[in-house]
A = this chain, B = another copy of it.
Amino acid sequence: MATRTDASTRREQILKEAARLFAERGFHGVGVDEIGAAVGISGPGLYRHFPGKDAMLAELLVGISGQLLTGGRRRVAEAGTESRGGGPGAVLDSLIEGHIDFALDDRPLITLHDRELDRLRDSDRKMVRQLQRQYVELWVEVVREVHPELAEPPARAAVHAVFGLLNSTPHLSRPRLPNRAATATLLHAMARGAFASAAEAAARA
């Protein structure tokens, strides 16, 4: 074989195209022949790299969830030890920024992430769900440090809602969203505002 880099490139190439196709037409709506064609090989050639179509989806979803969680943890750790005092607000800002980067740069993955979870084998789905849950809990902790008046259940609901807000970019998608930076700034401000209003409402009640 060629170098290890080439081999993993081919695998990653397959995953990337599969993600795009799954996001566009749904897991069941895409055939293995199409995925193969998208990377220049045909149909069953994919089975030299993956044990089956399900495995591609599983690897994609586990990968996404893992990346989000790892990135989130890294940001919490970094922002926590940052010299400029920062405080919990800065940590939350960093989490939001990381999620926005992901949502804007890996649209198909974000789409897959909350559309096709149910197509997974039980064990894989459990794994993904667990990673998702840990990611949510990471956010909940940070949000409650910033807004102590928020109890845990509404904080969790608020985090889910903000995920929905941040993940909306694939929907408005294609051509006519403002430039990337402006969109990121807008979404960031909206997320912070949404959390603040949630806390305010909780305090008032």
Contacts and interface: CB of A to CB of B under 8 A. Distances in A.
Interface of A: 24-29, 114-116, 118-119, 153-154, 156-158, 160-168, 171-172, 176-178, 182-183, 185-187, 189-198, 200-202, 205
Interface centre among A168, A185, A195 (most CB of B within 10 A): A168
Given A118-B26, A178-B153, A197-B193, A158 B186 contact: yes
B190 A197 contact: yes
B178 A189 contact: no
Contacts of A163: 168, 171
A197 B205 contact: no
Nearest to A185: B201
Contacts of A153: 176-178
Contacts of A158: 186, 190
A157 B177 CA distance: 7
23 contacts: A25-B119, A29-B119, A115-B115, A154-B178, A157-B172, A157-B183, A161-B166, A161-B172, A161-B187, A161-B190, A163-B168, A164-B168, A165-B168, A185-B205, A189-B197, A190-B195, A190-B197, A190-B198, A192-B197, A193-B193, A193-B194, A193-B195, A193-B196
Contacts of A176: 153
Contact of A201 (B168, B177, B189): B189
B118 A24 contact: yes
A182 to B, nearest CB: 7
Contacts of A192: 197
Contacts of A161: 165-166, 168, 172, 186-187, 190
Residue in A164, A178, A200 with the greatest tally of chain B CB atoms within 10 Å = A164
Contacts of A167: 164
A167 to B, nearest CB: 6
